[in-house]
Amino acid sequence: MEFAVESGLKTMGSGEGIRRNQALICAPLMADTVDQMVDLMHKAKSKGADIVEIRLDHLKIFNPRSDIEIMIKVCPLPTLFTYRPIWEGGQYAGDEKSRFEALQLAMELGADHIDIELKAAHEFNNFLHGNKPGKCKVIISSHNYASTPPIEDLGNLVARIQAAGADIIKFATTALDITDVARVFQITVHSQVPIIAMVMGERGLMSRILCPKFGGYLTFGSLEAGQVSAPGQPTIEELVNLYNFRLLEPDTKVFGIIGNPVSHSKSPKLYNEAFKSVGFNGVYLHLLVDDVPKFFRTYSSMDFTGFSVTIPHKEAALACCDEVDPVAKSIGAVNCVVRRPDGKLFGCNTDYVGAISSIEDGLLGLQNGSTGTGSPLARKLFVVIGAGGAGKALAYGAKEKGARVLIANRTYDRARELADLVGGQALSLAELDNFRPEKGMILANTTSIGMHPKVNETPISKEALANYMLVFDAVYTPKITRLLREAAESGAQIVTGVDMFIGQAYEQYERFTGLPAPKEQFKKIMEN
């Protein structure tokens, strides 16, 4: 694959440090008045945008000549004027002649770019009579709010946009599945003309972040979370500071967390900050995946190097691996998949290491660090809530440390199945409230009960917690779940999902990068 990206490094202004690509970050500006628009321009510059898209269709009062002139004159960044009609997802409901006149004015008054829709391009060209100011680049755009068409249709669309006289091609489609993005990357990387290509929605997020890797002209970043001009848009701050957008290059390796839901995950923060601090050329993304085998089949190149796997895909991911670590095989779930240099997928499980070691640390804290020999878990009754991938990992890990294991699950049959695997007991979750055979038990919740946004849920009543000496919750958003809060109030030692999360991330980082895990840095990042 050939990528037209400037080699070498370029230093940015405004304290942005090194820049390894030419891809621009464009801030879409939507405001009711010109004064508000001007405020937003300065805000965009301070946040690190390279260019602003001025959405004329959002202005409530608009006097084309004076307003456009003011905005171009005072804008501290290059400009892109868009006057989007309702029929293409915008706000403008007037006649085409007035719209064309405003865009023509913008071109004459010194706009750097204007955007015209493919459906109106022929008419607009006729309106201009070939009088196009040399400085202004014309973006011809097409938006599909329903789906992402097959590759042939996308190729034909790009050819039509180019034939309509585009200086820059722009198309946006909608992701029904994360694999839709691959087709858009294929088009982008082979385009002979500057191209802006995005896939809207959360499943399309990767298209926006990896724009520099695949040779896109620009990506859009909103000024604030939630204030987006299209679904799935990240903020400028996320692009620059979370995903290290300025550092991405054609040979940047792609890592990510595969899950559903996945947007709550703190993993990108952890890995991207660590990558940046050691100069490792990688980026780590949220990957909202519905169909795991399809995802691995689609993203099979060496560009896509390593994946963390979370709920509900840990068992499905194991089946996609060419080789699986023996421990992960016994657990029946992987949470880490690495693509080897020969392209084969290797899967392992770092969950149980992270969880069990943080639970052992918690118990050592209770016993002031003195356990004699062996694990502080030995002979303890270890109650696991949940029989999915994480439940299996903890049950297996506790068993290995000499604990007696009990599995409680909403469906008793799943609990029984896992209990038989590890030689333990089984209960339905409903029975757990009245299960009090002894004091000093250990409880580990591996389900998503209590996870944001359902923070008021808990898998077990507060009364039942009195018999546990230590309670662990794999949920880490929020850090202190209702289960942990009530456990602490009942006198139990608590271990958070953050402790497990950091523990399991050490080994993944080392497998991804071949470098030692920055343990202190990981702890610091998660504290913040």
Residue 351 appears among annotated catalytic residues: yes
DSSP 226: T
- For residue 205, CA distances in Å to 78, 197, 210, 231 come to 25, 12, 9, 9
CA atoms within 13 Å, Cβ hemisphere of 509: 25
SS3 55: strand
- Is the backbone peptide bond immediately before 212 cis, with ω within 30 degrees of 0? no
Q: How far apart are the first and last CA of the chain?
A: 40
Residues 252, 282: contact at Cβ < 8 Å?
Answer: yes
SS3 528: coil
Compute the distance between CA of residue 329 and CA of residue 49 in angstroms, rounded to an integer.
Answer: 47
Tell me which of 143, 286, 399, 401 is the catalytic residue.
143
Tell me which of 113, 213, 253, 314 is the catalytic residue.
314
Taking the alpha carbons of 344, 252, 288, 84 in that order, is the dihedral positive or negative?
negative
Residue 269 appears among annotated catalytic residues: no
Residue 380 appears among annotated catalytic residues: no
Among 477, 479, 483, 400, which residue's Cα sits nearest to residue 445? 483
Q: Which long-range contacts (CB under 8 A, 24 or more apart) does 326-329 make?
A: 327/352, 327/396
Residues with Cβ within 8 Å of 192's Cβ and at least 6 positions away in sequence, in order, are none
| Maximal C-alpha separation, the chain | 89
Residues, the chain: 528
Among 32, 33, 79, 35, which residue's Cα sits nearest to residue 54? 79
Cα-based torsion angle of the residue sequence 163, 218, 294, 322 in order, rounded to the nearest 10 degrees: 120
Tell me which of 47, 58, 170, 399 is the catalytic residue.
170
Residues with Cβ within 8 Å of 439's Cβ and at least 6 positions away in sequence, in order, are 467, 469
Cβ atoms within 10 Å, residue 303: 17
- Is the backbone peptide bond immediately before 478 cis, with ω within 30 degrees of 0? yes
Cβ atoms within 10 Å, residue 14: 9
Residue 143 appears among annotated catalytic residues: yes
Q: Tell me the DSSP string of 350-362.
A: -HHHHHHHHHHHH
Tell me which of 351, 392, 399, 499 is the catalytic residue.
351
Please state the φ and ψ torsions of residue 296, each to the nearest 5 degrees.
-65, -35
Compute the distance between CA of residue 144 and CA of residue 423 in angstroms, rounded to an integer.
Answer: 54
Compute the distance between CA of residue 57 and CA of residue 80 in angstroms, rounded to an integer.
Answer: 13
Compute the distance between CA of residue 333 and CA of residue 180 in angstroms, rounded to an integer.
Answer: 27
The catalytic site residues sit at: 143, 170, 314, 351
